[in-house]
Amino acid sequence: MRSSARRTPDPARLAPTITIPLGRARLVDVMGQGATAVVYAATIDQVPLAVKVLRPEVADDTDAVARFHWEIEVVDGLCHPGIPACYGFGLTSEGLPFAAFHRVTGETLRQKMARGERLSVAAALRALHGILEVLELTHRAGILHRDIKPSNIMLSPEGLPYVLDFGLIQSIDAAHDLRRTGGNGIVGTPAYMAPEMARAERDAFCPATDLFCVALTIASGLAGRPLRGATAQIDLLLAAQQPVGPLRTYGLSLPTALEDLLERALSHEIHGRFRNATHMLDALRFAEEELGEAPVSGRISRESTRRVDVDGPPPMRRVTASISDEGSTASVHPPTISTFAPPQPASPEPVLPSDKGTTEQRRGPPLPLFLIALAIGFGLFVALSYLR
């Protein structure tokens, strides 16, 4: 086992090459690493990229690659200013699957907390509003994020949030699909897990699960530290068994409207929370009015899941990314997994105005009236004939 591990190249020391429709770049700066992937920084034609590359030890795992492709497909379908756009995907020069996303400016909430900074109430409301708008779109498309935490929330210099890393997404209607849920076992980050996640109650996962993680993330940002955060084992036990409790016990002194909102979303029982992101977002708007904060909505239309325009070059939707290795090329075809925009109800064919009258008028009188008139006319004709 050890010798095999030594032969496995360290992705952090690689400088893979990628080619997408925007151009070609080498990835040299490591932005972050996870259990299954490494994220590199790159730039192509002045476009900043964050390139997620699967680790060599999982690149041959067909399930891992399928989930990676599904993540790309979902992110591509959930187009929103709060979700970094995907510009292309394929294989690096070393043969590792990658996806290139727009690299947003700012820093994560975790980085702010690491410096001991706290979110102000106004900043927390702004971040919460933006995250809920992303989750409203995501939940309407039938997808759970399952990994909302400070390191996956990027805050722009203006305080607008970006939701990152859709690697643990799950279809709400496919709780038993192991390929898409990551298999059996517990997934996520114990310090920010909802109770049902820590207990591996996969059938209980629902939008309220994401809302718990959001509320715990924002509460931690307000406190400037994780409300949990001992060890992974202790955090997992706390998440499964112990309610978060009143936020005042963590030294937080919040306006009542915001405190009530967060504590409801942090209910240990699913049925005590908001049903979905739309309900929590509606409650947040009332809290904003009560606190005298201007609404920060407007990033997305709640009536549609269609792509909205973002600054910068247009995202490449389901492109075939070329893979260059000094003369040789190959291609990885887009995943065949369907898009997750909810089906739109069929609208009736409109009746166009006409100088000949409406549709009903052109059809003439109903058949029963015609028969009655015909019977009356026939009766009169027989009567007149008899009188003659």
Q: Are strands 29-33 and 37-44 parallel, antiparallel or unpaired?
A: antiparallel
Q: How far are the Cα atoms of 38, 68, 148, 173, 330 from residue 97, in angstroms, in the given order?
A: 11, 8, 24, 27, 12
Confidence (pLDDT) at 11: 53
Instruction: Tell me the sheet residues that pair with 54.
Output: 37
pLDDT by residue for the chain (388 residues), tens only, comes to: 433 343 444 555 556 788 888 888 888 789 888 888 999 999 988 889 999 999 999 988 999 999 999 999 999 888 899 999 999 999 988 889 999 999 999 999 999 999 999 999 999 999 999 999 999 999 999 999 999 999 999 999 999 999 999 988 888 875 445 444 444 467 778 999 999 988 888 667 899 999 999 999 999 999 999 998 778 888 888 888 899 989 999 999 999 999 999 999 999 999 999 999 999 999 999 999 888 876 554 444 333 333 333 333 334 333 333 222 232 222 223 333 222 233 333 333 333 333 333 333 333 444 445 455 656 666 666 565 655 5
Q: How many Cα neighbours within 13 Å face the side chain of 154?
A: 16
d(CA 289, CA 24): 48
Confidence (pLDDT) at 215: 97
d(CA 31, CA 175): 32
Place of tokens 């309900």: 279
d(CA 149, CA 193): 9
For residue 332, count other CB atoms closer than 10 A to its CB: 17
Helix/strand/coil for 31: strand
Q: pTM of the entire structure?
A: 0.72
User: Which domains occur in the chain, in start order?
Assistant: 2-103+310-331 (3.30.200.20), 107-291 (1.10.510.10)
Place of tokens 């809920």: 132
Confidence (pLDDT) at 378: 60
